[in-house]
Chain A
Amino acid sequence: MAEKTVKQKIDLNELKSGGFIKQTQKDLFTVRLKVPGGRITPDKMLKIAEVAKKYSRLGYCHLSFRQSVEIIGVHIDDFDTVVKELATVGQKVASCGPRVRVPTACGGCEYNPNGIMDTQTKALEVDEKFFGTPCHHKFKMGFSGCPIDCTRTRESDLGFQGVVYPGWTKDLCNGCTLCAKACLEGAIVSDKDGKPIFDKSKCVYCGDCIKACPTDAWKEKKKGWLVRVGGKHGRHPREADHVLDYLSDEKVNDFVAATLEWYNKNGKTKERIGTCIDRVGIDKFKKDVVSAFKKA
């Protein structure tokens, strides 16, 4: 009887902020676990498996689309124990509802040869600083290391994607044509001596030419984050607006803070930032937020 009273006091929305999601089955919940950037240690995986084996009344986990591990079918009476057991390896519970979610990221530049920017470090840092910040609606951030954009920053409320500008030194070039071969965009074609003709309008700033060049004639001139805002999926997908190039690593947190402040000021309840931008205009966002980050 006492147990029933406790249950009735639990606010479902309150639970969602803690990453407990109501299921169709009575008293069973999905427990969503934080895996920022999708990187997880074997120790955490083992503990999650152990906890899931003990407390999932349906006997399985689910990998969410945004890189979280979810334990399905956890009984409401087991919440405290589940949280405590997971905490022994530092595994935290994620969130749902109108707030900043766990950032996603691609595998990372430490081992992926395409990587330009360090997505894993940044995703952790941004998670540390902004996770759970209340907003008008969900707010999802993603980090992609290169223009292949595995994290799909075009679908993120705020997305950061690595870009590098290639610079060419004539004296170092031996006309081998490998850069033109490497370029998938047709932004580099070889002249009759094998020297590159660069068409900036076709370049996506992936740095393949730099990686291919055997003589270092192509070198990194500058690199940073390309920033996209207002993307979402769901019932009414919206492709993000590309608002900035070459944002430096150190400025990412400031950009996130400024965007969240703008969103909370200009948005309406239950309105994603993309919908808000459609209503007030991207130019307003650019003027209010982006302009301060453009280098003079």
Chain B
Amino acid sequence: MAEEEKLIPHDKIDLRGVLCPINFVKTKLKLEMLDAGQILEVILDDGEPIRSVPRSIKEEGHKIIKVENLDNSYRILIKKM
């Protein structure tokens, strides 16, 4: 139950149709507005975005806690560190 509670996003951003690296920059800006420990939901296109954005987020030191496959896109949850 506690685990489930943790997975409720505090904010979300739909980045379908947004190209690299703008999608990463937008994600980063959103994360900057959150407090440490809060969760951001991001929707990313399949292909280059899902390949690149999570990796860059990891490099920035944040944690990807969930990846969900939607039709031709992905929903990922990022925990701000």
Chain A positions within 8 Å of B, measured between CB atoms, are 113, 176-178, 181-182, 184, 208, 211-214
A113 touching B59 by the CB < 8 A rule?
A: yes
- Per-residue interface assignment for chain B, residues 46 to 66, with 1 indicating a CB less than 8 Å from any chain A CB and 0 otherwise: 100011001110110001111
**Cross-interface CB contact of B65 among A184, A208, A214, cutoff 8 Å:** A214
- Separation in Å of the A192 CB from the closest CB of chain B? 12
Distance in angstroms between the alpha carbons of A184 and B47 in the assembled complex: 10
Interface residues on B, range: 10 to 19
Is B66's CB under 8 angstroms from A182's CB? no
By the criterion CB–CB under 8 Å, are A176 and B51 in contact?
no
Tell me the bound Cα distance from A177 to B58 in angstroms: 15
Find chain B residues with CB under 8 A from A178 CB.
50, 54-55, 64, 67
22 contacts between A and B (CB under 8 A): A113-B55, A113-B56, A113-B59, A176-B64, A176-B66, A176-B67, A177-B67, A178-B54, A178-B55, A181-B51, A182-B51, A184-B51, A211-B55, A211-B58, A211-B59, A212-B58, A213-B58, A214-B54, A214-B58, A214-B63, A214-B64, A214-B65
Digit string of B23-50 for contact with A (CB within 8 Å is 1, else 0)? 0000000000000000000000010001
B residues with CB within 8 A of A: 46, 50-51, 54-56, 58-59, 63-67, 69
Taking a contact as CB atoms closer than 8 A, the residue among B55, B59, B64, B65 that contacts A182 in the complex is: B55
A177 to B76, CA, bound (A): 11
Which 5 residue pairs of A and B lie closest in terms of their CB atoms, listed nearest first?
A: A214-B64, A176-B67, A212-B55, A211-B55, A181-B50
In the complex, which residues of chain A have a beta carbon less than 8 angstroms from the beta carbon of B50?
178, 181
**How distant is A90 from chain B, measured CB to nearest CB, in Å?**
34
> What's the Cα separation between A208 and B58 when bound, in Å?
12
Most chain B beta carbons < 10 A, residue from A177, A178, A181, A184:
A181
16 extra A-B contacts, CB within 8 A, seeds A113-B59, A212-B54, A213-B58: A176-B66, A176-B67, A177-B67, A177-B69, A178-B50, A178-B54, A178-B55, A178-B67, A181-B46, A181-B51, A182-B51, A211-B58, A212-B51, A214-B58, A214-B64, A214-B67
